[in-house]
Structure 1
């Protein structure tokens, strides 16, 4: 088994984390904060929009079960890569889209998929999901982990996460854990 880790930001980390935790070959997906200026940021500080961090999910996967390319394809199905500093109603730099790589292979695959998306004109606007080296990552507080599973009655989860997750599960049914 060869595990690889990549950090992905696509708006609220609860949506991204809950989707990836249901994918075959994903060993773990943890909500956290990527590429900001301070050490040990809190959720409240990140939500202020002043730390430079984005809500992100660190995904570790077994590349013998699921490829990096498939991970990135799932990621691009989970967020709108044309929305700058937002996803849906979530607005601010902490909701920017990003792929934070730890290897040239990750960077090259991310840029290749973005080029393919542009060429296919899948989205009407410019792709603004950033592709940057991972400089800092801090795992979010424990209560953010598996948030959707642990808080199914939360209004935000019912209005935003649940519909996004249902669409994801319909689209990627063959890739889901049993």
Structure 2
């Protein structure tokens, strides 16, 4: 079977959470944590991102096979496994680096993002504040951020924040998960 490899890039707060969610999704070949959407010159560091001064968001870049899972399905999973109604915040993480954002790669992805936001908004009590912006540059995060949940499951943040997100994913999207 021929593959139809595509990229999706978005941020839903902490990239460790979003990475862990999409590593379980069928058709997803790779998930890379990183940074995008900022205006500071050069390759930003985690420390710089955490300052909130660079304008970058913590994001993941997902390589997926569109013959197995559509971009629309990936966005529905994204929009339902984080809180897209809180501006510049996810739980205790506060700042523009934790904003809900979809970085589209082409006009088709932009249109699909707008459609998905419209589709899921009735399920939320508050308005969706997810930013939709063109992808400029994606910067890969430092190596210790990659596969973070898989490598640190017993760490407190993972247990209390990421594990419940994975439970929500399994409940809402069991038909889209890897075996």
Question: Normalising by the residue count of structure 1, what TM-score does the alignment of the two structures yield?
Answer: 0.96
Q: CA RMSD in A?
A: 0.9
- Aligned residue pair count: 176
Q: Which runs of 4+ in 1 moved over 2 A?
A: none
Match of 2:128 in 1: 127
Match of 2:20 in 1: 18
* Secondary structure class of the residue paired with 1:143: helix
Residue 67 (structure 2) pairs with residue 64 (structure 1): yes
Please report how far the alpha carbon of residue 117 of structure 1 lies from its aligned counterpart in structure 2 after TM superposition: 2.6
Residue 33 (structure 2) pairs with residue 9 (structure 1): no
Checking the alignment, whether the CA contact within 8 Å between 2:76 and 2:120 is kept in structure 1 is no
How many Å separate the matches in 2 of 1:174 and 1:11?
Answer: 25
Please report how far the alpha carbon of residue 116 of structure 1 lies from its aligned counterpart in structure 2 after TM superposition: 2.1
User: Where do 5+ consecutive residues of structure 1 fail to align?
Assistant: none
Match of 1:175 in 2: 176
User: Where do 5+ consecutive residues of structure 2 fail to align?
Assistant: none
How many Å separate the matches in 1 of 2:7 and 2:151?
Answer: 24
How many Å separate the matches in 2 of 1:116 and 1:169?
Answer: 21
Match of 1:164 in 2: 165
Aligned partner (choices 20, 35, 38) of residue 37 of structure 2:
35
Residue 50 (structure 2) pairs with residue 55 (structure 1): no
Please report how far the alpha carbon of residue 172 of structure 1 lies from its aligned counterpart in structure 2 after TM superposition: 1.6
Residue 103 (structure 2) pairs with residue 100 (structure 1): yes
Deviates more, 1:165-174 or 1:147-156: 165-174
* Secondary structure class of the residue paired with 1:113: helix
